[in-house]
Amino acid sequence: MNEIAQSALAAPEASHSLWSLFMQAGFVVKLVMIGLLAASVWTWAIIIDKTMRYGRFRRQLNNFENNFWSGQSLEELYHTLSDRKTSGMGSLFVAAMREWKKSFEKGARSPLGLQTRIEKAMDVTLAREMDDLESRLGFLATVGSAAPFIGLFGTVIGIMTSFQAIAASKQTNLAVVAPGIAEALLATAIGLVAAIPAVIAYNKLTSDAGKLGLRLESFADEFSAILSRQIDERSAASAAR
């Protein structure tokens, strides 16, 4: 306890820079600050990565739509994309066409069953694409909700240490408690620095992922309708023969 009092009394003479406040903080408060700083760094890494990825994904959707509606035959487009690593609408298209071709190669007789299998193949691919788009967004939500409370925990520990210093020194001078409170409040500040960008980015990126997912769903419905018409035409032609 005497050591706490002596450090508290000596603190007013020390530098009050952010680094000095961090170095003067207790072990628990330092641990809280380091954890929050690490969470903040990882948060910004996710924000930058997702922003760039969504931009690329959006461009891929635009390019695919241009190719799809350019008048090129479905067979030609399938042969172009089937040997490549695809994502977004390209993945939906390849999954549906692969099921289409497999079914006709095996002599599928039920148009309704073929339509159901194609829709299931696109649903599975769509779910996989959405999981990839929304991956790691949960971390942003966790940081946004938990970081202020973790910082507050560090603040509470720091203030408790300051009051222990008052009790040990038997002085009520503000100079005794001020350094400890400043160190404690730094933990809250770091918690807010981590939480605010995380909350804003989570809302923005979740909205962007939802819009991209809506485009994928719209294409899946459109392409399902196109294939359904072709299935009906083939069934009618088979019945006529």
Q: Which tens digit of pLDDT belongs to each residue from 15-31?
A: 567 777 767 777 888 89
Tens of pLDDT, residues 193-240: 999 999 999 999 999 999 999 999 999 999 999 888 887 777 666 666
The whole-number pLDDT of residue 157 equals: 86
The whole-number pLDDT of residue 203 equals: 97
Residue 9 has pLDDT above 50, yes or no: no
Tens of pLDDT, residues 34-46: 999 999 999 999 9
Q: Tell the residue number behind the tokens 């066409």, with chain if given.
A: 97
The whole-number pLDDT of residue 50 equals: 97
For the chain, how many structural domains are there in total? 1
Please report which confidence band the pLDDT of residue 8 belongs to, taking 50, 70 and 90 as the band edges. Answer: very low
Q: What percent of the chain has pLDDT over 70?
A: 83
Residue 128 lies in a domain: yes
Mean pLDDT of 166-174: 68
Residue 220 lies in a domain: yes
DSSP string, the chain: -HHHHHHHHHGGGS--SHHHHHHHS-HHHHHHHHHHHHHHHHHHHHHHHHHHHHHHHHHHHHHHHHHHTTT--HHHHHHHHHTS---THHHHHHHHHHHHHHHHHTT---HHHHHHHHHHHHHHHHHHHHHHHHTTHHHHHHHHHHHHHHHHHHHHHHHHHHHHHHHHHT---HHHHHHHHHHHHHHHHHHHHHHHHHHHHHHHHHHHHHHHHHHHHHHHHHHHHHHHHHHHHHHHHHHH-
Residue 62 lies in a domain: yes
Give just the sign of the alpha carbon dihedral 68, 61, 85, 131. Answer: negative
Q: Which two structure tokens, joined as six digits, stand for 240?
A: 């006529």
Structural domain range at position 159: 2-236
The whole-number pLDDT of residue 172 equals: 63
- Cβ proximity of 99 and 117 under 8 Å: yes
Q: What is the mean pLDDT of the chain?
A: 84
Residue 25 lies in a domain: yes
Sequence-distant (≥ 6) Cβ neighbours of residue 38 within 8 angstroms = none
Residue 241 lies in a domain: no
Residue 226 lies in a domain: yes
Residue 207 lies in a domain: yes
pTM attached to this predicted model: 0.81
Q: Which of 65-74, 78-87, 203-212, 226-235 has the lowest mean pLDDT?
A: 226-235
Residue 19 lies in a domain: yes
Residue 175 has pLDDT above 70, yes or no: no
The whole-number pLDDT of residue 73 equals: 86
